[in-house]
Homo-oligomer: A and B are copies of this chain.
């Protein structure tokens, strides 16, 4: 499986994509990885970058083998201003990626509070935001509000800080919700609805007995993602978390079929790895 655009060619596109008055640009990095750009002065951030093959390299027996190579080498991200990590699983918090970004850039990091100490060891002298439920922080033009995610339960450390997060992000007048890994809960519906997101990135790979038995922690499925988007009122729904690992996939055709039958007016966009999408409000 190839990539739409990658490496220096992709970075060139990222640099040359200038902001517009009412728009946000984003690129799919595969799995839950998203690169986000507002206007030029807002900076460039990414969420959950897994830009190496460290999972399969550190454990050749793993069933989590990439279906396509990283769209970027993390060393290319010298101009990055921020990295948001939703939780500690390898495909969301990849230390190899994070460390390399820390080495080459002045990027800040948003890390779930329970993981900050662990991450700090690998990111000496870096600016790390300890991400906690409802505690806003800013990275250049991006205003970021962490909210709890249930993967598949809400879990807190002994200080009461959530291990799994999603992010409500505002930039250039546009509101973006990146769910991280989560199922649907009534609280989540309420919080995301109140945020009035223009764009939502939601997983569609679901969960089932057999994957759970093998230690794969589940997410909302494609039907839930569609119903959730309708329940909270999202302008553009972007499905994520189904493309990179064949063992934990859901055929996105089911998502499309369900939308077409039930929500034929729900705007959505499925991204291919390395694709840019410019969302105009």
Contacts and interface: CB of A to CB of B under 8 A. Distances in A.
Interface of A: 1-4, 17, 20, 68, 183-186, 206, 208-210, 213, 220-221, 223-224, 227-228, 231, 243, 251-254, 256-258, 260-261, 264-270, 272-276, 278, 280
A99 B20 CA distance: 38
Contacts of A223: 206, 208, 210
Contacts of A273: 264-265
Contact of A267 (B1, B254, B272, B278): B272
Contact of A221 (B3, B208, B213): B208
Nearest to A231: B210
Nearest to A257: B253
B251 A224 contact: no
Given A184-B210, A208-B223, A210-B224, A266 B272 contact: yes
Contacts of A1: 264-265
A70 to B, nearest CB: 15
A243 B275 CA distance: 26
Nearest to A185: B209
A253 B251 CA distance: 10
25 contacts: A1-B264, A2-B264, A2-B265, A4-B267, A184-B208, A184-B210, A186-B213, A208-B223, A209-B224, A209-B227, A210-B224, A210-B228, A243-B264, A251-B254, A252-B256, A253-B253, A253-B257, A253-B260, A254-B254, A256-B256, A256-B270, A264-B272, A265-B274, A266-B272, A269-B269
Nearest to A266: B272
A81 B115 CA distance: 58
**Which of A4, A183, A254, A268 is the most central at the interface, judged by chain B CB atoms within 10 Å of its CB?**
A254
**Which of A208, A221, A280 is the most central at the interface, judged by chain B CB atoms within 10 Å of its CB?**
A208
B260 A267 contact: no
A220 B231 contact: no
Given A209-B227, A253-B253, A265 B269 contact: no
Contacts of A267: 4, 272, 275
Given A253-B254, A254-B251, A260-B252, A4 B265 contact: yes
A272 B3 CA distance: 27
A220 B212 CA distance: 13
Nearest to A210: B227
B260 A265 contact: no
